[in-house]
Amino acid sequence: MVAVWPREVYVTGGGAATVALIALAPARLPDPLPVSRARHGMPDDGDGATSVSIVARDREADPAWFADNVLAPFAQLIAEDLGDRAEAIARAAAHAYVIEARVDDPDDLGHVQAAWALARCVCECAQEEGGAAIVIDVFAARAHLGEEVVTWPVTRPFDVLREVTLFFDEQPDGSLAAWTLGMRKVGRPDLVLLGLSPGGEGDAALLLRDVAATLAAGERLEPGDHLESPSGDVLAAAFDPASAPGIPVEGPALLLRRN
């Protein structure tokens, strides 16, 4: 039995939670996939299992889709995250399995578990066929080797730093900016920090991690709200993309200031 990932401090009124994974495989896999609760981590309770879908895309039948939706947006990311071998695997992949889940204002995170259960099943089946798989976490802008995904414990707890990615970049004025990508997977806005001093990445990472973990656990944070986190109290404001054009968050995001 796989217990659903809970949201211990869930507050109603949040947004829709959406997950998008693309699992790349060298060969067509069984249809339907032999996904198992015990073996792959499909949760037993909640709406997770019913919220997730999977669609197979054949590269030979639609090479333009592969070029536009896999290689163009993600080949460089795969190379940077995983190295040249992984990029070669992605470029040679003949099939893509597009895994998506959407739940309005979810009171648990079973939809994230369910998406990863399907991805794990794809990776496992690819290994059984003698090939390697790559999984692209679209909203978190991160890639994973299939051989690593199949080793994740099916009863693992939710890990915000596996589901959400932290980014840092130097701004034109010499300060640093930091932000998250992937919070839409839990129905919460991404988070931004501006005006950081060089060398402040460690403190910023802890603050983003702690606030992201609190929101993933179900808390809500709106512009004007204060939030106490283990790394300090913050005041939230609406993030204006025009104030930092190089930060690629999509949709509404929150600018955090230490209170």
pLDDT digits (tens, 9 = 90+) for 133-163: 999 999 999 999 999 999 999 999 999 999 9
Alpha-carbon torsion (31, 36, 40, 42), positive or negative: positive
Question: How many other β-carbons are positioned within 10 Å of the β-carbon of residue 37?
Answer: 14
Pairing of strands 253-258, 190-196: parallel
CA 219, CA 9: separation in Å to the nearest integer?
6
Task: Pull the structure tokens for residue 178.
Answer: 């930091």
Mean pLDDT over each residue of the chain, to the nearest integer = 93
Task: Indicate the range of 63-72, 123-132, 144-153 predicted with least confidence.
Answer: 123-132
Does the residue 39 lie in any domain?
Answer: yes
211 and 91 together in one domain: no
pLDDT band at 2 (very low <50, low <70, confident <90, very high): confident
Is residue 152 within 8 A of residue 135, CB to CB? The reply is: no
Among 149, 171, 196, identify where a domain stops.
149
Q: What is the pLDDT of residue 133?
A: 94
End-to-end Cα spacing for the chain: 43
177 and 121 together in one domain: no
120 and 222 together in one domain: no
pLDDT band at 230 (very low <50, low <70, confident <90, very high): confident
Task: Pull the structure tokens for residue 155.
Answer: 């009863």
**Number of structural domains found in the chain:** 2
Q: Which helix (H) or strand (E) holds 80?
A: helix 72-82
70 and 123 together in one domain: yes
Percent of the chain scoring above 70 in pLDDT: 100
Q: What is the pLDDT of residue 47?
A: 78
Structure confidence by residue, pLDDT tens digits, 86-123: 999 999 999 999 999 999 999 999 999 999 999 999 99
Across the range 54-75, mean pLDDT stands at 95
**49 or 164: which leads in pLDDT:** 164
Decide if pLDDT at 192 tops 90. Answer: yes
Q: What is the pLDDT of residue 255?
A: 97
CA 41, CA 155: separation in Å to the nearest integer?
7
CA 122, CA 43: separation in Å to the nearest integer?
17
CA 230, CA 217: separation in Å to the nearest integer?
14
Most confident range (mean pLDDT) of 14-18, 128-132, 197-201, 240-244 is 14-18
CA 218, CA 8: separation in Å to the nearest integer?
7
Q: What is the pLDDT of residue 36?
A: 82
36 and 106 together in one domain: yes
CA 156, CA 145: separation in Å to the nearest integer?
18
- Domain span at residue 229 reads 163-258
60 and 177 together in one domain: no
